[in-house]
Structure 1
Amino acid sequence: MVQTLARREMSLEAPRTTTTAAVRTQGAIGAGISIREVVKRYGAFVAADRISLDIEPGEFITLLGPSGSGKTTLLNLLAGFQSLDGGQILVDGRPIQNVPVHRRGFGMVFQSYALFPNMTVAQNVGFPMRMARIDRETTDRRVAETLEMMRLSDHAGKLPAQMSGGQQQRVAIARAIVMRPRVVLMDEPLSALDRRLRESIQIELRELHQAIGSTILFVTHDQSEALTMSDRIAVMDAGHIVQVARPAEIYRRPQSRFVAGFVGESNLIDAQVLGRNGRVLTLRTPGGHVFEAESRHGVSADSATVLIRPERIAIHAAPAPATLPATVTSALFLGEVLRIEVVLDDGQRLLIRCPDIAGRDLPEVGTQVHVGWGAADSWVLS
């Protein structure tokens, strides 16, 4: 377990508090954050519209949303790069809106690496400690520990220009965590990396979070990043947080059509409500197909929108109970999965994703198939 600094220079440092289950290490140092009715305006445009969010100590939470949704604005307000027009932000119960950026003691990782080109890797990582006037022995030890955590020990003497983009981003992350800050803010740090490298660093970030226990606020528009790394995801749209939940909850049981469409690929079916038995609704499509779907919320209307994820639809070559005839309109081989689009007799289009298994051939366009799903595979949006 990495030890915390004996000497603390950051103004927001406080004695450790008891952490929640979100933190998986006994040495967690993360701070609790409370965002209360926060407002930020740019002229007539409201970038953050009375946003409230509580972040647990040591939690990894992701702000996920499209461009212009307000996620980077909220991160900048927390960092202190922008001022509030209303509301309050508290860290461990203490308001920080009047605390200067350099006194907040947060680690920051930007989309651009922002490394000093004339400094070695070790010098870049150790820069915050030198600015805080931490003694040389402690600095050298902490830099060595952090480089080892980020798998950079063999590159300590290199200049940034001598390293790949992925290695430079690891250096930027190492610099952000070397002081073991209670809060680390990350603004789309992986967006410039290729897919394979991005996926690798996602896993490393998750392991890093479990090791140091800082509270991490991560901003991205990439749903896979959010689903892979987060304890919870806050989905944002037009300056509002529209849903906050654990990744599986966001994906499987979104609260709105926007969340269902933004997080993952979706099949959305508008259907007539025929009846309800506990959490299960009986519905009928415009084409007359009667099926069941789960619902957490009461549905008082006569109609509802039902979400069915592409991987939850079964496809059969021959008729089977509770299936519908369909015609294949597109079929793509994506390696580990097959991506198939079909159209039902009533014109409803469905996307299906199924694993590539032995004996399963990619159907040809125009092939007649049968598709079906169960109540547990579908979800009624509120």
Structure 2
Amino acid sequence: MAFVHQPLIAQIRRIRLLKIIAPISPSEFWGPLSCEIKTVNMESAPPYFALSYTWGDLGDPTYIIHINGGAYRVKKNLYHFLCYFRGDSRYHGTYLWIDQICINQSDLDERSYTVRFMPTIYWRSTCVITWLGIDTDTVAAALDFAATRSADALTVLLSNRYFTRLWIVQEVLLAREVHVLAGTVWLGFQDMEETAREQVDKMLYGVRNPSLYLLWDSIHNRQSRHLAQCIDRYSSNHCEKPQDRVYSLLGLVKPEEQLAIDYEKSVPEVFVDAVKVLARSHWRQHPYTRFSKEPPYITTFMSLAKNMGFAQQLDTLRKLTKEIYNTKPSAAWYQKVLQYLESSYGASYSHITDDDYDEEEEVQEEEEDGGYQYLSI
């Protein structure tokens, strides 16, 4: 009999929590895994740990565990975590929130609903466990770092593929406390921050490294930020679904730059949603100034297009962006983008109108000599 998720009631913010049943004896380390799962209200949930980890590749083997008596398949990396966590008697009876299990991944409505308040799930957790796996080099580096706080050991830890994953960014930055687990070795993420504090600015200079950006942000910038900054820093990280190039970052984004999470939307539709936010944010920050050079958010827009799978269409998309810095962004410009995406991908997204835009009627253009002239739109 297979385990079947019971529907969640979205209106009252319910989540599922998992508890691993302790083994009968230590010899059962790799033995059959049995778990219990229960549904709770978010506001009255018992203390729980939230897991941050890599799902693995599509071809990775899967393992059967049992949840409430029903069989359920999980990927190798998660199975390894469950076995190692079960083996630590200090945490017997601890509740866990794990996205691969606690979200019904086949239910698009539930996935959209849960991802919408996933930042709250991670923030409310007692701690977030960062699982680096059981790779020999990683475990050796963890042992070294635990003993010496060595910068070299930290460099090895930061090279773990975990730090290339997109979802882990908000999972770490939104957590109140983070603990790192590699094999049986526990580390404090704060210890990693302290070791990196003096070096991370130098290490980041001229280098686009997602693990270093994550450390820098965890040290210097845990406040909400602009969507463009999040895309520039992290959207090239690994994720399975192109929509998550945007959705996985929203927990870090300022309230005025949020967009609705809907996994029933196509990739082009989500892309255009993000472009609208980028354009609005730019003109909100620079309501009068027209730069003689390409506005920075155009570079962000093009980077996002490439990361979401529009690599073959970049030349055409770049031509469309001329409308942005030749005229004020308008429904007409967005319709040009949409017409192209619809013809290429069959997306239907026709409800953008000029009513969405309320910027001033005039903008100020920066001339090469530093003077300004007003342009009528």
TM-score (normalizing by structure 2): 0.27
TM-score (normalizing by structure 1): 0.27
Whose strand proportion is higher, 1 or 2?
A: 1
Higher relative contact order (CA 8 A, sep 6+): 1
